[in-house]
Amino acid sequence: MRKVKAGVAGYGRSGMHIHCHSMGMLPEKYDIVALCEPDDERRAEAEKNLKCRVYKDFNKFLKDGETELVTVATPSYLHVKCAIAALEAGKNVVCEKPLSDKVSDVDMMIKAARKNKKIFAPFQNKRHDPLFLKMKEIMDSGVLGRIVEIKITWHSFGRRWDWQSLRKYKGGTLNNTCPHAIDHGMQFLPEKDNYKVFCQLEKTLTCGDADDHVKIIVKGKKSPLLDIEVTSAAGYGQEEKYLMMGTKGALKANWNEIWWKHFDPRSLPKRTLPKKAISEKRAYGNEEIKWTEEYWKVPDNAMHFSVAFYDSLYKTLTKGAPLYVTPESARRVVWLTEECHRQAGL
Ligand X SMILES: NC(=O)c1ccc[n+]([C@@H]2O[C@H](COP(=O)([O-])OP(=O)(O)OC[C@H]3O[C@@H](n4cnc5c(N)ncnc54)[C@H](O)[C@@H]3O)[C@@H](O)[C@H]2O)c1
Residues that bind ligand X (CB under 6 A): 9-15, 18, 36-39, 42, 58, 73-76, 78, 96-97, 123, 125, 176
- Which residue's CB is nearer to ligand X, number 29 or number 79? 79
CB of 206 to ligand X, least distance (A): 16
- Which residue's CB is nearer to ligand X, number 11 or number 260? 11
- Which residue's CB is nearer to ligand X, number 30 or number 77? 77
CB of 305 to ligand X, least distance (A): 9
Closest residue to ligand X, based on beta-carbon distance? 12
Q: Looking at the DSSP assignment, which residues form a beta bridge with residue 292?
A: 262
User: What whole-number distance in Å separates Cα of residue 335 and Cα of residue 104?
Assistant: 9
CB of 278 to ligand X, least distance (A): 58
The count of residues in the chain is 346
CB of 292 to ligand X, least distance (A): 35
CB of 211 to ligand X, least distance (A): 14
- Which residue's CB is nearer to ligand X, number 76 or number 173? 76
- Which residue's CB is nearer to ligand X, number 100 or number 147? 100
- Cβ density class 286-323: b for 16+ within 10 Å, e for less: eeeeeeeeeebebeeeebebbbbbbbbbbeebeeeeeb
Question: Whole-angstrom distance between the N-terminal and C-terminal Cα of the chain?
Answer: 48
